[in-house]
Amino acid sequence: MAELAQVVVDVPTMQTNQPYTYEVPPQLAHQLQVGMRVAVPFGNGHRQVQGFVVGFTDHADYQGELKPIGAVMDVQPVVNTELLKLSSWLADTTYSFWISCLYTMLPNMLKSKAERVVRLVDEVDEQTLFDLFGGKDECELSQFQDDPAKMSQLLKLKREKRVVIDYRLTNRARAKTVTGITPLLTFEQLEDARTSLHPNAHAQSRLLSYLQSIVGKKVKQTTAEHVAQLKAGTFNQGAKKGWLKKVPIEVYRNPYEQPVADDHLETPLHLNRDQQAAVRRINQAVEDQSAQTFLLQGVTGSGKTEVYLQTIAKALAMGRTALMLVPEISLTPQIVNRVRRRFGSQVAVLHSGLSNGEQYDEWRRIERGQAKVVVGARSAVFAPLQNLGIIIMDEEHETSYKQDDAPRYHAREVAKWRSHYHQAPLILGSATPSLESRARALKGVYQLLRLPHRVNQQPLPPIKVVDMRPEIKRRGESNFSLPLLQALDLRLQRREQSILMLNRRGFSSFMMCRDCGAVLKCPNCDISLTLHMDTRTMKCHYCGHEEPIPQVCPNCHSRHIRYYGTGTEKVEQELNRLLPQARIIRMDVDTTRRKGMHEKLLRQFGQQQADILLGTQMIAKGLDFPNVTLVGVLNADTGLGLPDFRASEHTFDLLSQVSGRAGRANKQGQVIIQTFNPDHYAIKDTQTHDYERFFRQEMNLRHQAGYPPYYYTVRLMASHPEEAAAARAMAHIRQELAAKLTPSTIVLGPTPRAIARMKRRYYYQIVIKYKQDPHLHPALQQILQETQAKGFKDVQVSIDPDPQYFM
Ligand code: ADP
Ligand code: ZN
Ligand code: ZN
């Protein structure tokens, strides 16, 4: 039995991926396992930090005296063998720290909070003991914080070394419980109590009979009240008389708005020929336990989801589990309900809209093997499913699959890792695959499966492109061209519905002075503040800074200030004026911020309580409403001008996706795209539904410019409150890299980032482009470790492999 444990510790300022060695005290030896969380002392003080046990050993390289583990925080491991391996791989390939990878994989509730506590270590007089500590010898520091008099007394005691201030870890992971009841007497004793009751005591008599039916069991009180038709008061009387006692019963928090009936599950649809062919190939791979990657390329409405559902069913039939990833913004109740109607209560969902408690409970249902199908957004790729039989990634081209903060992982790469670990196929689905994936399919690295036709046999909706330049000349500033207005009007007459999208990529409503041209900017970041009408404030989307809407220009004091940019609110106002009879539902970050609003608005639209659904990109994906026959895009090109090599690809994807919302049932659909760049190839290829042509043209451009998928890229960023320091650090790193890398590798920069200042820090970056460079990975690992050292004081360096943006 090894008596030393290796622990990855949570110390934010000085990170290292090397586990620390701790002694295992004998009383903990029998319960401690790899994958459990522990509290361990760290540094010189009494500070306790959280750590994860990643292994045991019988000898330490460390020469000094080893410290003992303070406490074990779990009764069973929270990270299993697979996920532990995965976390270490993730840290290595995303140039991040092991501890942050472990946290990324776990629900928030498993991240313990350090509280500062005051502990008496010497005698104090009784008065002080009661005044300051309420008679106990330990209390939280926060109690002193708003009482200066108490605080100064405390500091005096501290100087006299009568108290110490410690960190204590508190475990936030709590199961939810409800009140339950359980009988305290035997069946016969309950019978005796009942026969000796006063004849009028009907309620108590009913309670006793009910208790007789649940001897030896625990029942939720609400259930008991309902079944026995009794009031809460009767149960309280029963408890007083010693017939029953109240007990906590663990329940799962329920994130679903609709219940699901396991005995009335929906039957699979009869597949068409293309779907059959795809399902057959995938199911064969499930059966063979073959870790192949399939690219399922199917136009919108071609029935990809049905393919997912039937291959998931196959995995379940083989006694295995299934993981289905969807982008956060298309994780609508529609898709979740479709999966739940098919697979019932064995489905769990994981996404950012859940409360911490709901998230923790769904996670435990999965971990305990009670949920066998997981539907979730990016981080659900870490769901602790065992025995995975299939992994599905819908809309695989979506950039939200890449995490913006450390660890900067792409869910697709993690999914591939797990696919190999479990010997399970991975299905990447999309109507507009990423160039990377489509190029791999061309090379035969992925298996290409195609669904070229819509299920309903309808052609893809015809797309009309409206050039806004002459429209504006003719009719003045407006968000609506004449053809779009007429089309909307026609839908109102026919009682059909329309979806209108305002493309807000790289775009916001900002304040500008018409006299001096000054734009209201965030004092912390080099970026304009966005107008929010609901709170009547100007907000910074990067740091959260908020200030009132100005009445005069802060620069020249002119009163001629106005806001620019077309917000959804402004469009809604114009629409109300142009089509007063139309009922409109607006969906954007403002109207969906409250929990459940997203679902509510979509349900209202589905029930035809509105004629027009007006929204931002969040309405482009996943929606399947049969009565929608018109889709309008108000401004197709706001994203085209961004300094981003994927700008055209993103525009093409978005326009194709949103066009796919029209004409999904048996009514013919129509799409109208308004643009100032009608000749741009991304717009033209959208109009002809020609992914192949777009792919070829874009691949050509990427080839000429040396961008992915022809090159791999890495971005390094350094930030510092002083611009010169950030620039210096990046120049230093560049020099270091240049000496090590293969000559064919290209290093660009250092340059200031497009948004050079954020949260009071200046940013500089370099971009590395390479095809194959064995020296790169070790060089980057070394930089990562070095930046933790003293010489890099206050400089924060991050490494972003395969960045989605260069801005
Ligand atoms: P996609 O995910 O490719 O956009 P969906 O899976 O949402 O397409 O399918 C579009 C519509 O067609 C859905 O309403 C779905 O229920 C229906 N559908 C899919 N496959 C079939 C089928 N084989 N037979 C009948 N209807 C189908
Ligand atoms: Zn001004
Ligand atoms: Zn800011």
621 touches 330 (CB < 8 A): yes
589 lines ligand 1 (CB under 6 A): no
Q: Nearest ligand to the C-alpha of residue 547?
A: 3
Average pLDDT over residues 462-480: 88
* Nearest partner of 645 among 418, 759, 802, judged by Cα: 802
How many Å apart are CA 430 and CA 621, to the nearest integer? 11
Q: For the segment 24-49, what is each residue's pLDDT rounded down to a tens digit?
A: 999 898 889 999 999 998 877 667 88
How many Å apart are CA 428 and CA 438, to the nearest integer? 10
Task: Supply the pLDDT for residue 506.
Answer: 44
Average pLDDT over residues 446-473: 90
395 lines ligand 1 (CB under 6 A): no
Q: Does 582 have pLDDT greater than 60? A: yes
How many Å apart are CA 665 and CA 676, to the nearest integer? 31
Please report, as a single letter, which amino acid is at residue 288: D
Q: Which of 306, 309, 449 to mutate to test the pocket of ligand 1 (most atoms within 8 A of CB)?
A: 306
Average pLDDT over residues 229-258: 88
Q: Nearest ligand to the C-alpha of residue 557?
A: 2
Q: Does 643 have pLDDT greater than 80? A: no
Take atom 5 of ligand 1 and give the residue whose Cα is closest.
303
Helices 221-228 and 232-240 meet at what angle, rounded to 10? 110
Task: Supply the pLDDT for residue 161.
Answer: 83
Take atom 19 of ligand 1 and give the residue whose Cα is closest.
303
Q: Does 507 have pLDDT greater than 50? A: no
How many Å apart are CA 123 and CA 341, to the nearest integer? 65
How far, in Å, is the centroid of ligand 2 from the Cα of 511? 10
Average pLDDT over residues 103-107: 93
Take atom 9 of ligand 1 and give the residue whose Cα is closest.
303
- Protein residues with C-beta less than 5 angstroms from the ion ligand 2: 513, 515-516, 518, 553, 555-556, 558
Take atom 14 of ligand 1 and give the residue whose Cα is closest.
624
Q: What percent of the chain has pLDDT over 90?
A: 53
Angle at CA 662, nearest 5°, toward 661 and 665?
Answer: 100
- Which H helix or E strand runs over 586? strand 584-587
Q: How far apart are the first and last CA of the chain?
A: 53
How far, in Å, is the centroid of ligand 3 from the Cα of 784? 27
Q: How confident is the model at residue 12 (pLDDT cuts 50, 70, 90)?
A: low
**81-85, 150-154, 621-625, 682-686: least confident range:** 621-625
Q: How confident is the model at residue 563 (pLDDT cuts 50, 70, 90)?
A: low
Q: Does 128 have pLDDT greater than 50? A: yes
Q: Does 807 have pLDDT greater than 70? A: no
How many Å apart are CA 246 and CA 411, to the nearest integer? 46
643 or 91, which is more confident: 91
Q: What percent of the chain has pLDDT over 70?
A: 92
Task: Supply the pLDDT for residue 252.
Answer: 84
Average pLDDT over residues 541-549: 77
How far, in Å, is the centroid of ligand 1 from the Cα of 589? 29
Task: Supply the pLDDT for residue 1.
Answer: 45
CA 532 vs CA 173, 528, 575, 652, 704: distances in Å: 36, 13, 19, 29, 42
How far, in Å, is the centroid of ligand 3 from the Cα of 180? 50
* Helix ranges (DSSP H) in 592-639: 597-606
How far, in Å, is the centroid of ligand 1 from the Cα of 296? 14
Q: How confident is the model at residue 174 (pLDDT cuts 50, 70, 90)?
A: confident
Looking at residue 524, the DSSP 8-state letter turns out to be S
Indicate the average pLDDT of the chain.
Answer: 88
Q: For the segment 570-581, what is each residue's pLDDT rounded down to a tens digit?
A: 889 899 999 999
Q: Which of 276, 279, 302, 624 to mutate to test the pocket of ligand 1 (most atoms within 8 A of CB)?
A: 624
Q: Please state the φ and ψ torsions of residue 332, each to the nearest 5 degrees.
A: -85, 160
Q: Nearest ligand to the C-alpha of residue 555?
A: 2
> For ligand 1, what atom is nearest to the CA of residue 394?
2
> For ligand 1, what atom is nearest to the CA of residue 622?
4
Task: Supply the pLDDT for residue 143.
Answer: 76
Write down the pTM of the prediction: 0.83
429 lines ligand 1 (CB under 6 A): no
**Beta strand pairing status for 293-298 and 426-430?**
parallel
Q: Does 253 have pLDDT greater than 90? A: no
Q: Does 412 have pLDDT greater than 50? A: yes
271 lines ligand 1 (CB under 6 A): yes
631 or 705, which is more confident: 631
| Most distant pair of Cα atoms in the chain: their distance | 98
593 or 345, which is more confident: 345
514 or 163, which is more confident: 163
How many Å apart are CA 570 and CA 548, to the nearest integer? 19
Q: Does 113 have pLDDT greater than 60? A: yes
Q: Which two tokens stand for residue 225?
A: 């009240």
Which residues make beta-bridge pairs with 719? 763, 796
Q: How confident is the model at residue 535 (pLDDT cuts 50, 70, 90)?
A: low
Q: Does 641 have pLDDT greater than 70? A: no
How many Å apart are CA 612 and CA 499, to the nearest integer? 6
